Structure 1
Amino acid sequence: MAPVIVLPPSLSSITETMCVKAKTNMSQPTTQRSFTCSRHKNVSPSPGSASSRRTHSHQIDRLPNSFEEILNTTHRTEREVKASLSKLRRMILLEGLPEENLPKLAPSVQNLIRPTSMRSRVWKHFLGVYHVSANEYIRLIQKGKSCVYDKVRNDTFRTLATDKKFLERVNEDMLIRVLNAFVWKMKSSGNKTVTYVQGMNVLAAPFLFTMSEIDAFFSFATFIQTCCPSYVTPTLQGVHCGLKLLDQCLQIIDPKLFNHLRLKSLTAEIYAFPSVLTLCACTPPLEQVLKLWDFLLAYGVHLNILCVIAQLLLMRDQLLEAPSPMKLLRTMPELNAKPIINLTIQLVQQIPDELYDQLVKHPFYPSVAAS
């Protein structure tokens, strides 16, 4: 049997042609109109010629038609891996992951044993996590308390504290181990710019709910480093950049709503900080957060900014009628991933190219909002 070939990070960005008017990212010529679907800052352009586009399309069409079949496919070339990832992304958008009936374990062992869900496998494929090391994780845990251990402990006990399902499945010790080990991992790798910061506990929560602890640790560490490194700088530069971009995008998409909020002295910094910081993971219910993250991991966390705007538009009438909109925004309505994702895809079409380029870049280069 031929060995499975996986994409290195530099090659694992793919552009998916959609049946919607497309947007380009910074690496694509302005003549192309393709919906950006990348988890990295370097997004490969769509095939340039008509014939290559047809070939790319035929390769996708020849792939198996279920998530399980794609995940179990042996890939012999990088092109096959690209095609599989591309089809997975398209299926996430058009179908969504199917509901799973995983075996229910006794409370005494459910934190020790975690059935492997399809979502965990799909997320790991999108992140490029094809290998985990129990020895490395144990070694990091055995290092003991990190320099920010007290800060971690100060946050973990209140992580999704009102979500009963989460609390049944993930205990505080698991969060502490993952976050403390992450800090040690960054130190041992020589990465001095990333450590534990506010909000990381909530970003780790979906991984721990979805995966085994060891898979969650390596997936979370990869996610932080490759999807949103600017969000976890000591000053949260990427988050503040995203909030500025949210204001700019909302002003273009819905000037009336933007001006109404501005007249009430409401900027994204005031009402959207938690939603941007946690990629909406702070808004229940968790089952809908996971579906939204399926989309964000497939197509790029930069789209969360538009997902937050989509939530505003879904409550637009109430916001315009409310004498104090902040009362509504203080507690966002429960997430409903499907309409948010559908509306987000429409919003992509309304953003000017230059602004959309900044949106794509900001999880990596927080200075773009000031440029």
Structure 2
Amino acid sequence: MKHYREREVKWLSIVNKMDAGSVKKDTKLKKLVRSGIPTSVRSRVWQFLAGSNDYQHQQKGKFQTLANQPATAIYNVIDRDLPRCYPDHTLFRIENGQGQRDLGMILKAYAHYNPQLEYCQGMGRLAGCMLMHMPTEDAFWLLVCTIDRYMNGYFTPELSQLRIDAYIIGQLLKDHEPKLAQHLENNDVTPIMYIAQWFLTAFTMTLPWQSVLRVWDLFLFSGVKVFYRISLAILQLCKDHLLQSCPTNSEILGFLLHIPHDYLSADVLLETAFHIKLSKTDIGRYAKKATVNGADAMGLPFEHGLKNLRISGSMPSSSSHLSSNSIGSSLKDRIKKKGSSLNLRENSQSTLPVASPPPLPVSSV
């Protein structure tokens, strides 16, 4: 408890006396982040690291203006998705309850803030997690900053950054786990098939909740490179099962999209991730190669990716794996068709797993 209180005091001092740019260059503070941000100050630290307080102060009153704009067609899509976003959490489980209304307000305001993008379903997972930790307007501006500063290029019609990251993950996997990389390749499993869910929802549909929060601490401190580490750590921890018990495409995808949480506890996952050595030179080289070669060279032949990418937020309680008819062979077939889209709209009953947070009230700071 004493150590926890010391970390609380340390973070409050950092937030009040330092700027985020200096903090992110400090190796001692990087170590502090790796030990986890205390729950009681997590909201303030996240906003500090992302710079969302600055956005909010510079645009006072804008959130309410956006929230009061006339309804558009995208509102219907948002309203339909709200019940599937953290359906087991007390904040969101009541249909049209305060939590769902606040989440809808954030997403609809963002649709007006960024009319070129408007909305895609992964945003609900991001905004929902933020709303668990802070008031509605604070969560809105953190969502804006997260997309602008950290995930710019993920939420684009062409999924441009996600395509690049898929290529990078594929190459890094060959470097670190060549046998597993070959196994996935032999079964036509490309990184885009699993990192779309992992990255666009910032692992909220993949990891146990304490692991999610620790990953977000690191992500807001260090940026997307953390996603590479976490992805490789997940694959490394699941390697034996994938090699020994998943001989087909559908079994591999079924497992990667529904990984049992026993594999992914925060301490084990992060210890594994921190021991993975990543070279900025290699990442830069792979990113450049991905950009030069284009999507076709990355095994990503679909075109209007984001507009058709749907990430379902509910899962039948009895489901422990995906059937080959739901996401395995059908997803493989859709992606392999030249010019087709990665489209999870086709079957509204097809579901991806939810890493539900514990049913607790909103965190206070």
TM-score range, shorter chain: 0.5 to 0.7
| Partner of residue 185, structure 1 | 113
- State the number of aligned residues: 279
Name the counterpart of 1:301. 224
Point out where structure 2 has 5 or more consecutive residues left out of the alignment. Answer: 298-365
What's 1:151 paired with? 77
1:336 aligns with 2:277: no
**Which residue in the other structure is 2:253 paired with?**
326
Corresponding position: 1:176 with 2:116: no
Q: Match for 2:198: what amino acid?
A: S
CA contact (8 A) 2:166 2:195 kept: yes
Task: Give how far 1:304 is off.
Answer: 0.7
Q: For 2:204 and 2:293, how far apart are their aligned partners in 1?
A: 24
For residue 175 of structure 2, what is the aligned residue in structure 1? Answer: 252
Asked whether the equivalents of residues 97 and 119 of structure 1 are also in contact (C-alpha less than 8 Å), the reply is yes
Q: Name the aligned partner's letter for residue 157 of structure 1.
A: P
Report SS of the residue matched to 1:229: coil
**2:138 corresponds to which residue?**
215
| 2:177 partner letter | D
Instruction: Output the CA distance in 2 between the equivalents of 1:158 and 1:311.
Output: 25
Match in the other structure for 1:196: 119
2:7 aligned to 23, 48, 66, which one? 66
How far apart, CA to CA, are the structure 1 residues paired with 2:200 and 2:221? 19
Alignment partner, residue 346 of structure 1? 275
Kindly indicate whether the alpha-carbon contact (under 8 Å) linking 1:129 and 1:222 is maintained by their aligned counterparts in 2: yes
1:369 & 1:162 partners in 2: Cα distance? Answer: 43
Q: CA deviation at 1:73?
A: 5.6
Equivalent residue, structure 1, for 2:314: none
**Paired residues for 1:1-371 under 5 Å:** 66-72=7-13, 82-83=22-23, 86=26, 87-93=28-34, 95-98=35-38, 100=39, 117-131=40-54, 132=56, 135-163=61-89, 167=93, 171-187=99-115, 192=116, 194-322=117-245, 323=247, 324-334=251-261, 335-347=264-276, 349=277, 351-357=278-284, 367=291, 370=294
The aligned amino acid for 2:282 is L
Give the residue type in structure 1 aligned to 2:37: L
1:171: how far off?
Answer: 2.0
Give the C-alpha shift of residue 121 in structure 1.
0.7
Give the direction of change, closer, same or farther, for the CA distance of 1:242–1:198 in structure 2 (3 Å limit): farther
Q: Could you tell me how far apart the structure 2 residues matched to 1:165 and 1:366 are?
A: 41
Sequence identity of aligned pairs in percent? 24
Q: CA offsets per residue over residues 338-362 of structure 1, 9 Å max, x none?
A: 3222222222x2x444332267x79
AA aligned opposite 1:329: L
* Alpha-carbon shift at residue 327 of structure 1 (Å): 3.4
Greater share of residues in helix: 2
**In structure 1, C-alpha distance between the alignment counterparts of 2:128 and 2:16, rounded to whole Å:** 31
Q: Distance in 2 between matches of 1:369 and 1:197?
A: 27
CA offsets 1:41-78 (integer angstroms, 9 cap, x no match): xxxxxxxxxxxxxxxxxxxxxxx963424424687786
How far the C-alpha of 1:366 sits from its partner, in A, is 8.1
Provide the C-alpha distance between the structure 1 equivalents of 2:53 and 2:284, rounded to a whole number of angstroms: 30
Partner amino acid, structure 1, of 2:199: V
Counterpart code for 1:326: L
Q: What residue identity is the alignment partner of 1:367? A: T
1:170 to 1:142, Cα distance in 2 relative to 1, 3 A:
closer
| Counterpart-to-counterpart distance in 1, 2:130 and 2:204 | 11
CA distance in 2, matches of 1:65, 1:231: 37
Q: Distance in 2 between matches of 1:73 and 1:255?
A: 42
Q: Which amino acid aligns with 2:81?
A: D
Kept in 2: contact 1:159–1:205 (CA 8 A) = yes
Gaps of 5+ in 1: 1-63, 101-116
Structure 1 residues 127 and 352: CA distance shift in structure 2, 3 A: closer
Partners of 1:145 and 1:129 in 2: how far apart?
26
- Structure 2 letter corresponding to 1:356: I
Structure-2 separation of matches of 1:205 and 1:66: 26
**Shift in Å at residue 272 of structure 1?**
3.2
Paired residues of 1:310 and 1:343 also in contact (CA < 8 A): yes
Q: Secondary structure at the match of 2:153?
A: helix
How far the C-alpha of 1:297 sits from its partner, in A, is 1.0
Alpha-carbon distance in structure 1 between the residues aligned to 2:84 and 2:23 = 41
Distance 1:137 1:75, change over 3 A: closer
TM-score by length of 1: 0.66
Aligned equivalents of 1:81, 1:247: Cα separation in 2: 31
**Contact persistence 1:156–1:175 (CA under 8 A):** yes
